[in-house]
Amino acid sequence: MLAKLNRESFIALLEKLRSDDDEEVLTAVRDIKAQMTVAEVNWGELLIPEGGLQDAVESDFEDDTETDYEDDADMETDEADEAASSPLTEEEEKGALSIIETLLDMEISDTTREELEDYKQDITEGEFEQMDLRYLRALHARLGQ
């Protein structure tokens, strides 16, 4: 899950929460929420537990000793992850580029603007995936309100 988040970008957004500019803070909060939604993580998964890193490691070890039933659920999740990483159709690529241009015309943070430019490059290189498109649509829906 955490692999879906860009650490440097996420930290940059967290730093923007210190700003005295309310609009910049609000934009950063929206961007953080969107990234967490797409990465399918919550604050509990992002932060080290109260017991510290050792508890986190032990918890990960316990997770590795799941029952067969839980392993089956993991396989279903893996299949969903594969679907999320599948390439876009030509029509979806055009739609994604249209959404990107619409978002670039909005008042957004520099970090989000850079991310959108990177997405344009990813589309050109054929590296833009279904997961990216879901994030883009969610961002557009949220910012378009």
Residue 58 to residue 45: CA distance in whole angstroms: 14
Query: Which amino acid, one-letter code, is at 129?
Result: E
User: How far does CA 1 lie from the centroid of its chain?
Assistant: 9
Cβ contact 45:1 at 8 Å: yes
pLDDT band at 58 (very low <50, low <70, confident <90, very high): low
Alpha helices in 3-67 (DSSP H): 7-16, 22-39, 43-46, 53-64
Question: Which residue in 4, 3, 8 sits closest to 38, CA to CA?
Answer: 4
Q: Report the range of poorest mean pLDDT among 14-23, 57-66, 113-122, 129-138.
A: 57-66
pLDDT band at 10 (very low <50, low <70, confident <90, very high): confident
Asked whether residue 8 carries a pLDDT value surpassing 90, the answer given is: no
Arithmetic mean of pLDDT over the chain: 77
Number of H helices and number of E strands within the chain? 8, 0
Residue 73 to residue 83: CA distance in whole angstroms: 15
pLDDT tens-digit readout, 69-114: 555 555 555 554 555 567 788 999 999 999 999 999 988 889 889 9
Asked whether residue 21 carries a pLDDT value surpassing 70, the answer given is: yes
- Residue 143, pLDDT score: 82
- Residue 1, pLDDT score: 44
Residue 93 to residue 21: CA distance in whole angstroms: 35
Asked whether residue 36 carries a pLDDT value surpassing 50, the answer given is: yes
pLDDT tens-digit readout, 125-144: 998 888 888 988 888 888 87
The mean per-residue pLDDT over the stretch 9-26 comes to 89
Overall pTM > 0.75: no
DSSP strand E in the chain: where? none
